[in-house]
Amino acid sequence: MWSSGTSHNDILNVLDKVINVFYHALSHYDWPKPEPGTFIDLMLRENEAMNEKMDQVKAVLKQGQTLANREKLLETLTPLLEFEAHYLKKENILFPVMEQRNERFEGVAIMWALHDTTRASLKKVLQLLTEATASEPEINAELGQLFFNMIGLDQKESLILFPCAVEALTAEDFASMTRQSFDYGFPFLPPETLPEPLSADGPTAPHLSQSLSGLEINTGTGTLTADQLITLLNALPVDMTFVDENDKVRYFSRPKDRFFPRSTAIIGRDVRYCHPPESVDKVLEIVQAFKEGRQDTASFWINLRGRKVLIQYFALRTPADTTEAPPIYRGVLEVSQDITDIQEMDGERRLLSWEG
C-alpha cells in the first residue's frame, strides 16, 4: 500500500482491520525472544509496566462516577507522560537502525503518526480532567480512545515491529541501541532491574583517537584543536543539527539541555525520516527552497514544556570556483534555542554588576 502511493492517514484507517485479519498468524509466529537486558527486552518490559499503569486507571474507572474521581484519575494518568521516552527511543534509535539494515523499511511514518495520536489523546484526557466544564461522557470517550491507542501500540510492537527487529538486526546493533537508551531512560522500570550501562567504547561514544584529538583546524579567524572545537560547540546554549547537501544527517551537538532528543543512530539518516508525518512535507519544502537559492533562512517558535523555543534553519553555502558562479549549497543547519529568559530581559545588566 505504501509503495503504491497510499497516504499514511489512509493506511491508519485500515491498519487495525488488517491486523485483526492476520492476528492469529501474527500471535502464533515463533520469533526468537530477546536476551534479558537487551534493547527489545527492555522495550517489552516497559510495555508490561505501562499495562500495569493502565490497569490502575481501569480500577478507578470501575468505581464509576468519573467526575467524582477526577483527582484519582489525574493521579493515575499523569505518570503515563513518562512513557514518552519509550516512543522517543523507537523514533530516534530503533527506526534509524532498521532503515540502515533494510532500505524497504518505511513504517516510520505510520508508527510516528500513531505515537502523535497517542500523545494528543493523553494530553486531551489530562486537559479534560482539569476543566470544570468537561462532561462525563466527553471524558469517558477520550479515555476509551487513550486505552485503544496505547494498548494498540503495544500490540503492534509485540506482533510486528519487535519480531522484525530481532530478526533483522545484529547483536552489535542491539548493544549500541541499549547503550543509547540510557540517554532517554526506562519508563516505569525499577533501577535495580536495569542492566549495567554498557562500555562507552562503541559508536555512541563522543571520543577522538589520539591521532585526531590534537588535530588543529584553521578556521580563518583562529586555530582550534579538534577537542577544543567539540567542547566549544557543545558549550553553546543551542541545539544544532547539520544535514548535508544529500539530505543526510551528519552531525548534532550535545548541549547541556536539549529540547529535542537526538541519538547517534540518526547519523546518515535521510532528513525526511527525522520529522513527524504532518510536518515532513514542510521541512522538505524549506530544504528545496534552500537548494534552489530562493531562501536562506526559516524561523519558527513554539511553546514547549512551559518554555518558548526558537527553531531556525540556515542554508549553508560555500563560494564557487569562479566569481560568476553561484555559491555551492552544502546543506542545512537547524538551530533550536530556549528564548524564554531572553524575552523577559528588561533594562540593562552590565559586566560590572557580575558577582562570583
Q: For 313-350, how does the pLDDT look when each residue is reduced to its tens digit (9 = 90+)?
A: 999 999 877 777 889 999 999 999 999 999 999 999 89
Query: Among all chains, which residue has been given the C-alpha cell 567504547?
Result: 201
pLDDT for residue 208 is more than 80? no
pLDDT at 80: 97
Confidence of residue 235 (pLDDT cuts 50, 70, 90): very high
Q: How many other C-beta atoms can be found within 10 angstroms of the C-beta atom of residue 157?
A: 22
Q: Which own/partner pairs from 107-111 qualify as long-range (CB within 8 Å, at least 24 positions apart)?
A: 107/161, 108/273, 109/8, 109/273, 109/277, 109/280, 110/2, 110/8, 110/11, 110/12, 110/15, 111/156, 111/161
Q: Residues with Cβ < 8 Å from 102, sequence gap 6 or more?
A: 168
> Higher confidence at residue 295 or residue 258?
295
Reported as type and span, the H/E element at residue 313 is strand 307-318
Confidence of residue 14 (pLDDT cuts 50, 70, 90): confident
Specify the residue for cell string 491486523: 19
* SS3 category, 296: coil
Half-sphere exposure at residue 355, Cβ-oriented, CA atoms within 13 angstroms: 0
- Backbone phi and psi for residue 264, each to the nearest 5 degrees, phi listed first: -65, -15
Residue 276 pLDDT:
82
Residue 64 has pLDDT above 80, yes or no: yes
What is the rounded average pLDDT of the residues 282-300?
96
pLDDT in the model for residue 7: 58
CA angle at residue 233 from 222 to 352, to 5 degrees?
80
Q: Is the pTM of this model over 0.85?
A: no
pLDDT band with cut points at 50, 70 and 90 for residue 4: low
**What is the pLDDT, as a whole number, of residue 256?**
87
In this prediction, residues 72-89 reach a mean pLDDT of: 96
Domains along the sequence of the chain with CATH? 8-193 (1.20.120.520), 210-343 (3.30.450.20)
